[in-house]
């Protein structure tokens, strides 16, 4: 009775389901967790503070299409995401920019700004691994500072590897910015959903053609056999959109894909404010990478404040662990390609999302891809 089965109820699954439902398709979503929203799920903690259970999520995009689609399900709270790194007792703006330069170099900063601008162009965004190649001794000194104080230890914590050992696109997400722009993201559209992400999802999924089944591990209901997909033991001829990890979907037939996981630790304080910004990165000390103070992210007015620390770790597949970040390297990409090839045996199976596509996507990229896929179907 369903034209399409969607595995996973995060942004990938929910967006695709909504678009298909609006085109008259009957869609069943199977979601392993006991809630909608995937990793963007938010909820109130014991103190009434809205927190993101799976780490801080800030919406940002340059895509008008994505912004307009999501705006059908939420209003937005204006929010400008600024991050600082705690280095010793000082807080410095991240991404490293001209403000950071002035804090560190004082009177020399203006001349260095001119030098950097002449070299790379006004407003440029230069990845640290590129800046390091500059032969100019003064620029090399800045690069060394940024590498040592912003990237090295944070990346070691996050990935268990040095910046130059991981895919270059990862550190390029946070380039050195040759301007006074303190924002973490430079996209045209930015904000936080006014009533939170879960409310946005609830509205997106409220459609007569969508049925959501929670606490439903797709693996107990869907089997991939030869060239046939079985649903509850019977051949299923409809479309299947899978947003779950592809290695798990195929019973780790070729082995496990590497991921990084996170352990989140929340603490509540009765004081009004914990730190100067919503997110502080710990780039030279501590075992955690960053602390998020939620009410500064959401704009919620509340007595007391809740913070969350993120402790990265290798993903082992242990019960309860969640794979958050694909570890992209030549070997993992080759292994993923084998799973992708296997998936092609099932012409009606589509892999979508951060896990099924094994890609470091932001949520807007996922929404865009889900809309495109649903429209092509």
Positions in the binding site for ligand UDP (CB under 6 A): 85, 94, 150-151, 154-155, 158, 170-171, 173-174, 281, 283
Task: Compute the least distance from the CB of residue 94 to ligand UDP, in Å.
Answer: 5
Q: How many CB atoms are located within 10 Å of the residue 138 CB?
A: 14
Positions 271 through 290 that interact with ligand FAD (CB under 6 A): none
Decide: is 191 part of the binding site for ligand FAD (CB under 6 A).
no
* Number of residues counted as binding ligand FAD (CB under 6 A): 33
Q: Which of 8, 93, 175, 191 binds ligand FAD (CB under 6 A)?
A: 8
Say which entry of ligand FAD, ligand UDP, none residue 7 contacts (CB below 5 to 8 A, set by partner kind).
ligand FAD
d(C-alpha 278, C-alpha 291), whole Å: 8
Decide: is 217 part of the binding site for ligand FAD (CB under 6 A).
yes
Say which entry of ligand FAD, ligand UDP, none residue 12 contacts (CB below 5 to 8 A, set by partner kind).
ligand FAD
Say which entry of ligand UDP, ligand FAD, none residue 13 contacts (CB below 5 to 8 A, set by partner kind).
ligand FAD
Span of 34-42, 69-77, 121-129, 226-234 interacting with ligand FAD by CB under 6 A: 34-42
Pairing of strands 27-30, 4-7: parallel
Span of 2-10, 167-175, 225-233, 285-293 interacting with ligand FAD by CB under 6 A: 2-10
Decide: is 49 part of the binding site for ligand FAD (CB under 6 A).
no
**Of 39 and 328, CB closest to ligand FAD:** 39
Show the tokens assigned to 159.
């990935």
Tokens 């920019």 belong to 97
Task: Compute the least distance from the CB of residue 236 to ligand FAD, in Å.
Answer: 15
Q: Which of 149, 163, 354, 371 binds ligand FAD (CB under 6 A)?
A: 354
Task: Compute the least distance from the CB of residue 357 to ligand FAD, in Å.
Answer: 8
Decide: is 42 part of the binding site for ligand FAD (CB under 6 A).
no
**Nearest residue to 157 via CA among 309, 334, 332, 350:** 309
Say which entry of ligand UDP, ligand FAD, none residue 363 contacts (CB below 5 to 8 A, set by partner kind).
ligand FAD
Task: Compute the least distance from the CB of residue 243 to ligand FAD, in Å.
Answer: 5
**Of 21 and 131, CB closest to ligand FAD:** 21
Positions 225 through 254 that interact with ligand FAD (CB under 6 A): 243-244
Decide: is 212 part of the binding site for ligand FAD (CB under 6 A).
no
d(C-alpha 343, C-alpha 246), whole Å: 9
CA 306 to centroid of chain Cα atoms: 21
Decide: is 324 part of the binding site for ligand FAD (CB under 6 A).
yes
Say which entry of ligand UDP, ligand FAD, none residue 33 contacts (CB below 5 to 8 A, set by partner kind).
ligand FAD
* Contacting residues toward ligand FAD, per CB under 6 A: 7-13, 30-33, 38-40, 55-58, 217-219, 243-244, 262, 324, 353-355, 361-364, 366
């Amino acid at each position: 009775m369903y034209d399409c089965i969607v595995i996973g109820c995060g942004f990938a699954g929910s967006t695709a389901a909504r678009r298909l439902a609006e085109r008259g398709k009957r869609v069943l979503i199977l979601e392993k967790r006991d809630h909608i929203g995937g990793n963007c799920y938010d909820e109130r903690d014991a103190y009434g503070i809205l927190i993101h259970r799976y780490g801080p999520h800030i919406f940002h995009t340059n895509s008008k299409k994505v912004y307009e689609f999501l705006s059908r399900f939420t209003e937005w709270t204006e929010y400008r995401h600024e991050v600082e790194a705690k280095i010793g007792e000082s807080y410095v703006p991240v991404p490293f920019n001209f403000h950071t330069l002035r804090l560190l170099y004082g009177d020399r900063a203006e001349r260095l700004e001119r030098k950097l601008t002449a070299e790379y162009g006004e407003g440029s965004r230069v990845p640290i691994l590129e800046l390091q190649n500059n032969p100019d001794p003064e620029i090399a000194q800045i690069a060394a500072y940024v590498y040592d104080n912003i990237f090295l230890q944070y990346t070691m914590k996050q990935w268990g590897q040095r910046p130059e050992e991981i895919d270059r696109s990862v550190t390029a997400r946070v380039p050195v910015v040759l301007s006074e722009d303190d924002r973490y993201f430079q996209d045209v559209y930015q904000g936080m959903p006014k009533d939170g992400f879960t409310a946005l999802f609830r509205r997106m999924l409220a459609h007569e053609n969508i049925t959501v089944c929670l606490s439903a591990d797709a693996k107990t209901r869907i089997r991939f056999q030869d060239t046939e997909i079985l649903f509850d033991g019977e051949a299923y001829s409809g479309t299947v959109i899978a947003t779950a990890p592809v290695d798990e979907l195929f019973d780790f037939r070729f082995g496990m894909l590497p991921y990084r996981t996170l352990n989140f630790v929340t603490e509540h304080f009765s004081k009004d404010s914990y730190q100067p910004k919503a997110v502080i990165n710990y780039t030279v000390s501590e075992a955690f990478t960053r602390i998020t103070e939620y009410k500064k992210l959401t704009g919620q007015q509340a007595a007391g404040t809740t913070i969350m620390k993120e402790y990265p770790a290798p993903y082992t597949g242990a019960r309860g662990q969640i794979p958050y970040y694909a570890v992209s390297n030549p070997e993992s990409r080759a292994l993923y390609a084998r799973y992708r090839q296997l998936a092609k045996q099932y012409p009606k199976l589509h892999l979508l999302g951060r896990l099924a596509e094994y890609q470091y996507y932001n949520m807007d990229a996922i929404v865009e891809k889900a809309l495109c896929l649903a429209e092509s179907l």
